[in-house]
């Protein structure tokens, strides 16, 4: 990614780069993998997404980077990239937070967080209240141990972009 600071413009460029990479993968997917691909997209935020962030969670979404993300992106659904990568919609994040409460991340400076993403292997990605992103070591956040994968959301998103591009170019899964 170029030197744009994290903003709606940065997210638009990020979305375009992932969309272009996934588009080239989809064009030969069935020939390469032997089955039809699912829906793979970075969906722009629609009115329902914007309403969810406004009505349910401006304050609950914790930090500015996450609010900026949900003002632009509705969700990320990439089931055919590696094990699959998913950044959940604001509505899903907020509903889970309301039902289950914050996730305890003892490794974080502020040990409270929320599940914002997952992969097809069941690993959950928690954003702590300070903005760092932590994947669970197991397919659960109950009494889970975490590792910090990014200091902030833009770093996490850029890492996700690199994993998508690497998978499309080489077939190798990333280390996200």
Which residues share a beta bridge with 75? 43
- In this prediction, residue 144 carries a pLDDT of 80
- In this prediction, residue 176 carries a pLDDT of 80
| pTM for the structure as a whole | 0.92
Confirm if 114 and 103 have CB atoms less than 8 A apart.
Answer: yes
For residue 9, CA distances in Å to 16, 46, 176 come to 11, 17, 24
Q: Return the percentage of the chain with pLDDT > 70, whole number.
A: 93
Strand, coil or helix: 111: coil
pLDDT digit string, tens, across residues 21-69: 999 999 999 998 999 999 999 999 999 888 887 765 655 556 678 888 9
CA distance 65 to 130: 10
Taking alpha carbons only, the member of 47, 25, 52 closest to residue 37 is 25
- In this prediction, residue 150 carries a pLDDT of 95
Name which residue leads in pLDDT, 138 or 4.
138
Which domains are delineated in the chain?
8-170 (3.40.1580.10)
């Amino acid at each position: 990614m170029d030197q744009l600071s994290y903003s709606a413009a940065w997210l638009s460029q990020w979305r375009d780069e992932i969309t272009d990479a996934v588009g080239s993968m989809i064009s030969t997917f069935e020939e390469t993998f032997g089955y039809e691909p699912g829906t793979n997209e970075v969906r722009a935020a629609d009115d329902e997404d914007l309403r969810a962030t406004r009505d349910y969670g401006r304050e609950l979404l914790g930090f500015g980077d996450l609010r900026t993300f949900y003002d632009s992106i509705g969700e990320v659904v990439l089931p055919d990239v590696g094990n699959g990568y998913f950044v959940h919609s604001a509505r899903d994040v907020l509903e889970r937070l309301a039902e289950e409460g914050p996730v305890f991340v003892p490794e974080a400076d502020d040990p409270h967080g929320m599940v914002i993403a997952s992969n097809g292997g069941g690993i959950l990605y928690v954003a702590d209240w300070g903005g760092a992103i932590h994947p669970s070591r197991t397919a659960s956040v109950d009494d889970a141990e975490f590792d910090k994968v990014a200091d902030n959301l833009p770093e996490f998103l850029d890492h996700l972009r690199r994993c998508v591009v690497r998978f499309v170019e080489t077939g190798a899964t990333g280390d996200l």
